């Protein structure tokens, strides 16, 4: 939880400090890269770390991740320019890419099937807590100390987390004869870097139909095709292709893609809608969205009481029903809606996410043994990152299209129009998540998975 807290807190604490950072370092036009390069480094490295944890063990990988995050945080705190800060954020992102999947994998290793939902609920609660305290801490540091302390605060947390894990976590590594697929790792990292970079920056840094956009996506496709060809022939692939062929793993990954897109869309535009259209304060807008991350861990911790008697598919379908219902409620939002109703939509969606995401991930982990659990968890979180990147591109294009000539700050009327299309898209994605949940194995098959893979 402490390790996860490093990643979760960093995701929320930086946004409120951006004005102070720009005032000190300059480079206003470059500040979006503070977020993009971090997310890019995290997403690209996640599946690689997942595989390494199967080969080397969870403990060294998560300690490496904490170490990278610690070094990156210290360097960010001493950054002397915006380009330097952007570069050091890459180091942080590489650390986060190891921490998040390995922490979830460890929970899958050390807890029984009955206990895993509660453990996942605890891990998810870290994100809920961070969504509330992160912006407040960032604002306090920026106003009364220095923006540099939003990075230095990670130092004691990282040291404590590393000490506790090094001292108390014992694991029996099933090393076998597996080797690290360096070529596959390089191709995967290069191809996904170009893909996610193109999705994050397309329509922003360059036009979608520009030479750079076409070249980046063409390069991504070429590298990923070569990656698939290499992985089909190598004995110990960095990301085995069976991850995308097994029914339970494919269904879980599709749920994760949808989750990434839905959460990105809501977290990006609900606060803007609440402030610019409904006239809410930044604090109220933030708390409205926080209900999503509060409902998520509450439902996730209770999911075990459902998937044990009902099965993973039934539980995921119940969760998908809540998500679909909550997103459908957003279709009724307009210029005169009440802020409490927006909060209710977020709460319903959050409860649904807890009953959908945690059981789908646990089902995927349960279907494999120790030596495959890391790569399965990494692939699942990687799918969520891809969903978020696609969401950035799609939702950004929708909002841009709602303004005159696709540029400028939308008026409240334009924003309501654009947000309605965003909500329609999110609802369609929620329906796709429900379809993926229905594709999960049935009750009898789940029993086989649990008894052979757990």
Does 312 share its domain with 443? yes
Q: Grade residue 22 by pLDDT with cuts at 50, 70 and 90.
A: confident
Does 98 share its domain with 34? yes
Of the segments 130-144, 157-171, 392-406, which one has the largest average pLDDT value? 157-171
111-130 mean pLDDT: 79
Does 186 share its domain with 172? no
pLDDT above 50: residue 450: no
Last residue of one domain, picked from the residues 179, 201, 223:
179
Please report the pLDDT score of residue 390 as a whole number: 81
Residue 62's alpha-carbon distances to 102, 104, 161, in angstroms, are: 6, 11, 10
User: Whose structure tokens read 């992985």?
Assistant: 231
User: Whose structure tokens read 């119940």?
Assistant: 318
389-420 tens-digit pLDDT: 788 778 877 777 766 544 455 677 778 888 88
Please report the pLDDT score of residue 454 as a whole number: 40
pLDDT above 90: residue 182: no
Tell me phi and psi for residue 245, to 5 degrees: -110, -30
Q: Grade residue 65 by pLDDT with cuts at 50, 70 and 90.
A: very high
**What's the token pair of residue 136?**
């407040």
Please report the pLDDT score of residue 290 as a whole number: 78
Distance CA 392, CA 397 (A): 8
Distance CA 254, CA 384 (A): 9
Contact at 8 Å (CB) between 271 and 286? yes
Residue 182's alpha-carbon distances to 15, 50, 186, in angstroms, are: 35, 14, 6
Q: Supply the CATH number for residue 140's domain.
A: 1.20.1250.20
Chain-wide mean pLDDT for the chain? Answer: 81
Residue 255's alpha-carbon distances to 8, 258, 430, in angstroms, are: 21, 5, 9
Q: Grade residue 148 by pLDDT with cuts at 50, 70 and 90.
A: confident
Contact at 8 Å (CB) between 258 and 427? no
Please report the pLDDT score of residue 11 as a whole number: 72
Q: Which residues pair with 428 in a beta bridge?
A: none
pLDDT above 50: residue 447: no
Choose the weakest-confidence range: 146-150, 212-216, 360-364.
Answer: 146-150
pTM: 0.80
Q: What is the dihedral of CA 170, 176, 180, 184, to 10 degrees?
A: -120
What total number of domains does the chain contain? 3
Q: What is the DSSP annotation of 271-308?
A: HHHHHHTT---HHHHHHHHHHHHHHHHHHHHHTHHHHH
* 16: nearest Cα among 118, 139, 154, 127: 139
pLDDT above 90: residue 134: no
Please report the pLDDT score of residue 344 as a whole number: 92
Distance CA 400, CA 409 (A): 9
SS3 content of the chain, % helix, strand, coil (to 5): 85, 0, 15
Contact at 8 Å (CB) between 92 and 14? no
Distance between alpha carbon 148 and the CA centroid of its chain, in Å? Answer: 25
Domain of residue 106 covers 1-179
Output DSSP code: residue 202: B
378-388 mean pLDDT: 84
pLDDT above 90: residue 163: yes
Does 376 share its domain with 280? yes
Distance CA 380, CA 57 (A): 19
pLDDT above 50: residue 310: yes
Does 285 share its domain with 157? no
Does 257 share its domain with 378? yes
Does 132 share its domain with 199? no
User: Whose structure tokens read 């014992």?
Assistant: 170
Q: What is the DSSP annotation of 144-161?
A: HS-TTHHHHTHHHHHHHH
Does 137 share its domain with 197? no
Does 356 share its domain with 297? yes
**What's the token pair of residue 313?**
């598919």
Q: Grade residue 158 by pLDDT with cuts at 50, 70 and 90.
A: very high
9-21 tens-digit pLDDT: 877 777 667 667 7
Contact at 8 Å (CB) between 237 and 181? yes
Residues 6+ apart with CB under 8 A from 86: 30, 33, 34, 37
Rg of the chain (C-alpha set): 21
* 17: nearest Cα among 149, 131, 157: 149
Please report the pLDDT score of residue 430 as a whole number: 94
Does 213 share its domain with 286? no
Choose the weakest-confidence range: 77-81, 103-107, 202-206, 365-369.
Answer: 202-206
317-327 tens-digit pLDDT: 999 999 999 99
Does 329 share its domain with 372? yes
Output DSSP code: residue 204: T
Output DSSP code: residue 411: P
Q: Which residues pair with 206 in a beta bridge?
A: 202
Does 260 share its domain with 347? yes
């Amino acid at each position: 939880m402490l390790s996860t807290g490093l990643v979760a807190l960093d995701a929320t604490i930086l946004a409120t400090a951006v004005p102070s950072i720009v005032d000190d370092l300059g480079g206003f036009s470059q500040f979006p890269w503070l977020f993009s390069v971090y997310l890019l480094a995290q997403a690209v490295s996640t599946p690689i770390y997942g595989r390494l944890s199967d080969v080397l063990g969870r403990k060294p990988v998560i300690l490496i991740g904490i170490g990278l995050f610690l070094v990156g945080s210290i360097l960010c705190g001493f950054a002397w320019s915006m380009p330097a800060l952007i570069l050091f954020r890459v180091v942080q992102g590489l650390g986060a890419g190891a921490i998040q999947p390995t922490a979830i994998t460890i929970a899958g290793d050390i807890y029984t099937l009955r206990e895993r939902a509660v453990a996942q609920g605890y891990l998810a609660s870290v994100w809920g807590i961070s969504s509330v305290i992160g912006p407040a801490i960032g604002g306090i540091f920026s106003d009364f100390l220095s923006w540099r302390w939003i990075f230095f605060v990670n130092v004691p947390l990282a040291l404590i987390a590393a000490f506790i894990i090094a001292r108390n976590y014992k694991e029996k590594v099933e090393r076998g004869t597996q080797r690290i697929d360096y070529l596959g790792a390089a191709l995967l990292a290069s191809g996904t870097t170009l893909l996610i970079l193109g999705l994050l920056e397309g329509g922003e840094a360059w036009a979608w139909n520009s030479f750079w956009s076409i070249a980046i996506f063409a390069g991504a496709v070429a590298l990923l095709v070569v990656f698939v060809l290499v992985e089909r022939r190598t004995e110990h692939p960095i990301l085995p292709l069976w991850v995308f062929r097994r029914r339970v793993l494919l269904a879980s990954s599709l749920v994760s893609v949808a989750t990434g897109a839905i959460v990105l869309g809501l977290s990006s535009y609900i606060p803007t809608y609440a402030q610019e259209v409904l006239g809410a304060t930044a604090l109220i807008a933030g708390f409205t969205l926080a209900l999503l991350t509060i409902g998520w861990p509450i439902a996730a911790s209770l999911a075990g009481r459902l998937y044990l008697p009902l099965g993973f598919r039934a539980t995921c379908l119940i969760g998908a029903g809540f998500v679909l219902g909550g997103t459908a409620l957003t279709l009724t939002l307009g210029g005169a809606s009440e802020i409490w109703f927006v909060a209710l939509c977020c709460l319903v969606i959050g409860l649904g996410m807890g009953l959908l995401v945690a059981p789908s991930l646990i089902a995927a982990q349960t279907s494999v043994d120790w030596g495959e659990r890391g790569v399965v968890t990494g692939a699942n979180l990687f799918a969520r990152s891809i969903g978020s990147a696609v969401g950035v591109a799609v939702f950004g294009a929708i909002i841009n299209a709602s303004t005159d000539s696709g540029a400028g700050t939308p008026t409240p009327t334009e924003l309501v129009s654009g947000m309605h299309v965003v909500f329609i898209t999110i609802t369609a994605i929620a329906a796709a998540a429900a379809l993926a949940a229905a594709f999960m194995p049935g009750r009898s098959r789940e029993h086989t998975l649990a008894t052979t893979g757990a």
